[in-house]
Amino acid sequence: MADFDQELDATGLNCPLPILRAKKSLAGMGAGQVLRIVATDPGSVKDFEAFAKQTGNELLESKEEGGKFVFRMKKA
Amino acid sequence: MSEKKLAIIATKGSLDWAYPPFILASTAAALGYEVQIFCTFYGLQLLRKKLDLKMSSLGNPGMPMPMPMPVLLQALPGMQSMMTSMMKQKMKSKGVASLEELRNLCIEAEVKLIACQMTVDLFEFSNDEFIDGIEYGGAATFFEFAGESDICLFI
């Protein structure tokens, strides 16, 4: 079973687009739902940490997988 | 969480310098900030209906060039257009958003855009050259918001 409710492909996008797209996806989701984000921008690793800290959405996971950065974020 | 506020003064009208205000404003909005951008002098270009911004390597020794080029060559006719299209291509290939896209994201996120009335008059712009939904105001208008902002940037 998938450990997320919705997925966002942010590969090929550069700052600040992964954050902005994630924000938009989260806006359409319900509290407690999980968004999986796949990105290629190395800056997104720190950016998603900062995004989580400032918005209250919880960053459940942040990992590198086959040259891509994968995040799971739970909507507050 | 009480809403934080970001106030930006945008004064530059070249392709490269148009990015920081729009990137910071759209990101701040995504983080929950209330944002206003006060556009004055060449920053008014950010509000034009058609964003046709150019850039030049002239007077900008910090710009990385694909090959060394004497300053006099950089001043030749057509060089500015060439620089601009090269930069746009490069940005596209690196997945950098276009200015139009960033501006639309700002508008979507309710970033308030203000045109400096004095410079609108100075450069004899007419209001229909600018996008809809912006406000027109002066320094006092800006301070009303900037005075209670958490972050204030001059770009």
> DSSP letter string over B12-31?
--SHHHHHHHHHHHHHHHHT
Per-residue confidence (pLDDT) for residue A32, from 0 to 100: 95
Q: Please give the model's pTM, rounded to 2 decimal places.
A: 0.87
Residue of A nearest to B24 (CA): A16
- Mean pLDDT of chain B, nearest integer: 93
Domain ranges across chain A: 6-74
Per-residue confidence (pLDDT) for residue B65, from 0 to 100: 84
Write out chain A residues lying below 8 Å of B30, CB-based: 16, 19-20, 23, 51
Per-residue confidence (pLDDT) for residue B38, from 0 to 100: 97
- Cross-chain CB nearest to B96 (options A14, A51, A56): A14
Per-residue confidence (pLDDT) for residue B63, from 0 to 100: 87
pLDDT of A20-39, one tens digit each? 999 999 999 999 999 999 99
Catalytic annotation, pick one of A14, A15, A50, A68: A15
- Cross-chain CB nearest to A17 (options B1, B32, B97): B97
Overall CATH class of domain A6-74: alpha beta
Is the pLDDT at B1 greater than 60? The verdict is no
pLDDT of B94-127, one tens digit each? 999 999 999 999 999 999 999 999 999 999 999 9
Q: 3-state class of B52 per DSSP?
A: coil
Domain ranges across chain B: 1-50+99-155
Per-residue confidence (pLDDT) for residue B142, from 0 to 100: 92
User: In sequence order, which residues have a C-beta less than 8 Å from that of residue B10 and are 6 or more positions away?
Assistant: B18, B21, B37, B38, B39, B40, B43, B46, B155
Per-residue confidence (pLDDT) for residue A14, from 0 to 100: 92
**Mean pLDDT along residues B64-91:** 90
Helix/strand/coil (H, E, C) string of B115-141? EEHHHHHHCCCCHHHECCCCEEECHHH
What ipTM was estimated for this complex? 0.80
**Mean pLDDT along residues B54-68:** 87
**Shortest alpha-carbon distance between residue B28 and chain A (Å):** 10
Per-residue confidence (pLDDT) for residue A1, from 0 to 100: 63
User: In sequence order, which residues have a C-beta less than 8 Å from that of residue B124 and are 6 or more positions away?
Assistant: none
Instruction: Name the amino acid, one letter, at A38.
Output: V
Residue of A nearest to B101 (CA): A17
**Shortest alpha-carbon distance between residue A21 and chain B (Å):** 9
**Shortest alpha-carbon distance between residue B105 and chain A (Å):** 8
Per-residue confidence (pLDDT) for residue B154, from 0 to 100: 97
**Mean pLDDT along residues A46-69:** 95
Residue B79 or B66, more confident: B79
Is the pLDDT at B2 greater than 70? The verdict is no
Instruction: Name the amino acid, one letter, at B67.
Output: M
What would be the CATH architecture of the domain defined by B1-50+99-155?
Answer: 3-Layer(aba) Sandwich (3.40)
